[in-house]
Amino acid sequence: MKKKTIQIMIGIFVILICVISVGPFLWVLLSSFRGNADILSSASIFNGHFSFKNYFTAFKLAPIAQFYKNSVIVTVMSTLICLTVMSMASYVIARFQFRGRKFLRLMFSMALLIPGSALLLPVYNTVKTIGLLDTIPGLILVYSGFGLTTSLFILSSYFMTIPRELEESAYIDGAGFFRTFATIIMPLVKPALATAGVLQFIEARNEFQFALTLTTGNDSRTLPVALYYFKSAYATDYGAMFAATILIILPTIVIYFLMQEQVVSGMTAGAVKG
C-alpha cells in the first residue's frame, strides 16, 4: 500500500512538472494563430478565429529569413570551433599529468561563476578593438569562447571513463598519438560530443544580450533579436511576436528531441568512472 502511494505521488509530481514545462509553450503556440484581441481577452485560448496571418505578418515586420541565415552560420560555426578546440584540450587535461593542470581546471571552474552581464562591457570593447563589431565573425568568436568551459567539463569527464588500455594497445600496434586520438578515442566520445554540441547550439542560438549589443544591422543580427521588431513605444503585435517565437524555438526543440539519447548519455557518463 505504501509503495503504491509513493508511485501515485511520483506520478502526480511528474504530471505537474510536465504541465509547468509544456504549458507555456502550448499557450504561445495556440496564441500564435490568434489575433491580438483574442489574446488579450479573458476567453479560453481554444476560442476565437485561428489563422496563419500572424506568421505572414512576422516575416513582414522583421527580416526573419536573414536572421535565420545569420543564426545558422553563427550557431554551426561556434559549435564546430568549440568542439574542435575543446575535444583536444579536454583529452590532454584528462589524460596527461603536467604542472598547472589542476590550476587550469580551477580557472575554467571559476569562469562558470561569472555572470554574462558582467562581461558585456569588456567583451564589447575587445570586439570593437579588433574590428569585429557588428559582424558575424565577432559573434562566432564570442559564443565559441563562452562555450569552452561547459564543453571542457563534459568532454574531460567522458575521456576519464575510457580505459587507458585502448590507447596502449594502439601504441603497441604502431599508431601514433594523433592517429590514436582521431581513430580510437574520438569515435568513443560521440555521446559527449553530442551533449556538448547540443548545449553549445542552444546557447548560441538563444542568446540575446550579446547579440543585441554587439550588432546594429540586419546583416549580422540573429533570431532572438527579431522579437524586438514586434514591440513599439505604444503597441505590441503579440500574435506576430508569438509566431516569431515559435519559428525561433522550433528548430532547437527538434534537434534536442532527435539527439536526446546522446545528450543524456553524455551528461551521465562522467558520473561513473571505470
**pLDDT 10s digit of each residue in the chain, 274 long?**
677 888 888 888 888 988 888 888 888 888 888 877 777 775 566 666 777 888 888 888 788 888 889 999 999 999 999 999 999 988 888 888 878 777 887 887 787 788 878 888 999 999 999 999 999 999 999 999 888 888 888 888 888 888 888 888 888 888 888 888 888 888 888 888 888 888 898 889 888 889 989 998 888 888 888 877 777 655 677 888 888 888 888 887 887 777 777 666 655 655 444 4
**Type of residue found at 252:** T
Whether 51 maps to a domain, the answer reads no
Backbone angles phi, psi at 241, to 5 degrees: -65, -45
Question: What CATH number corresponds to the domain at position 164?
Answer: 1.10.3720.10
Give one word for 100, left, alpha or beta, with left for phi > 0 and alpha for psi -120 to 50.
Answer: left
**Looking at the domain assignment, is residue 139 inside a domain?**
yes
Note whether residue 57 is domain-resident: no
**Residue 246 in domain:** yes
Domain count, the chain: 1
SS (H, E, C) the chain: CHHHHHHHHHHHHHHHHHHHHHHHHHHHHHHCCCCHHHHHCCCCCCCCCCCCHHHHHHHHHCCHHHHHHHHHHHHHHHHHHHHHHHHHHHHHHHHCCCCCHHHHHHHHHHHCCCCHHHHHHHHHHHHHHCCCCCCHHHHHHHHHHHCHHHHHHHHHHHHCCCCHHHHHHHHHCCCCHHHHHHHHHHHHHHHHHHHHHHHHHHHHHHCCHHHHHCCCCCCCCCHHHHHHHHECCCCECHHHHHHHHHHHHHHHHHHHHHCHHHHHHHHHHCCCCC
Q: What are phi and psi of 64, to 5 degrees?
A: -65, -35
In a domain, residue 15? The reply is no
CA dihedral 161, 143, 241, 52 (to 10 degrees): -60
How far is Cα 59 from Cα 249, in angstroms, rounded to an integer?
A: 16
Q: Does some domain include residue 13?
A: no
- 10 Å CB burial of residue 205 (0-12, 13-18, 19+) is buried
Give residue 243's domain range. 63-269
In a domain, 110, yes or no: yes
Decide if 106 is inside a domain.
yes
